[in-house]
Amino acid sequence: MTGRKLKVEAIASGTVIDHIPAGMGIRILNFFELTKQQDRITVGLNLKKSTGGKKDLIKVENTKFTKEQAQQLALFAQDATINVIEDYKVVEKFKVTLPEAIEEVLSCPNTNCITHDEPVSSTFYIKEQQDKVALKCHYCEKSFHQSFFKELV
């Protein structure tokens, strides 16, 4: 160790997701299938926060997160910020926020739920309970903590 700071390379255009809780970076990569795309991705794990503690950071070149994706991101990292980069500059910066509902991307943990047998896309309503998030299935009306979803762990 030289003690020198490792500088993460700047990107010309794309998205920087900052303030991801340490350990969530990999889950986010998997969930959004970011590693399957061709563009360059820089991932920082267990980076030191200026306020103490650790965080993960993801830079994805030539990719812009949709509003929907940004909301889904909040399931993993409620305090994450998204920086949109154009021409090496941050042109937009915002905090992610939990959506009221999340569609299609999650499958219901209830194996008896109709969504597993019928060609319907899933819909879950999101409820925040203290610092936890519960998701209620539109079809079977059962609520689950986010840790019950295979897509989120």
Binding-site residues from annotation: 108, 113, 137, 140
Select the residue interacting with Zn ion from 70, 77, 85, 113 (CB under 5 A): 113
Contact call for residue 135 and Zn ion (CB under 5 A): no
Nearer to Zn ion, 19 or 136 (CB): 136
Select the residue interacting with Zn ion from 34, 139, 143, 146 (CB under 5 A): 139
In angstroms, give the least distance from the CB of 124 to Zn ion. Answer: 8
Coil, helix or strand for 42?
Answer: strand
DSSP state of 8: P
Select the residue interacting with Zn ion from 16, 70, 75, 137 (CB under 5 A): 137
In angstroms, give the least distance from the CB of 117 to Zn ion. Answer: 11
| CA separation for the pair 14, 107 (Å, rounded) | 29
Instruction: Mark the binding-site residues for Zn(2+), compressed into ranges.
Output: 108, 113, 137, 140
| CA separation for the pair 105, 23 (Å, rounded) | 21
| CA separation for the pair 97, 32 (Å, rounded) | 17
With CB under 5 A as the rule, give the number of residues binding Zn ion. Answer: 6
133 strand-pairing partners: 128
HSE at residue 58, side-chain half, CA atoms within 13 A, is: 29
- Hey, what amino acid is at 94? F
Contacting positions for Zn ion (CB under 5 A):
108, 110, 113, 137, 139-140
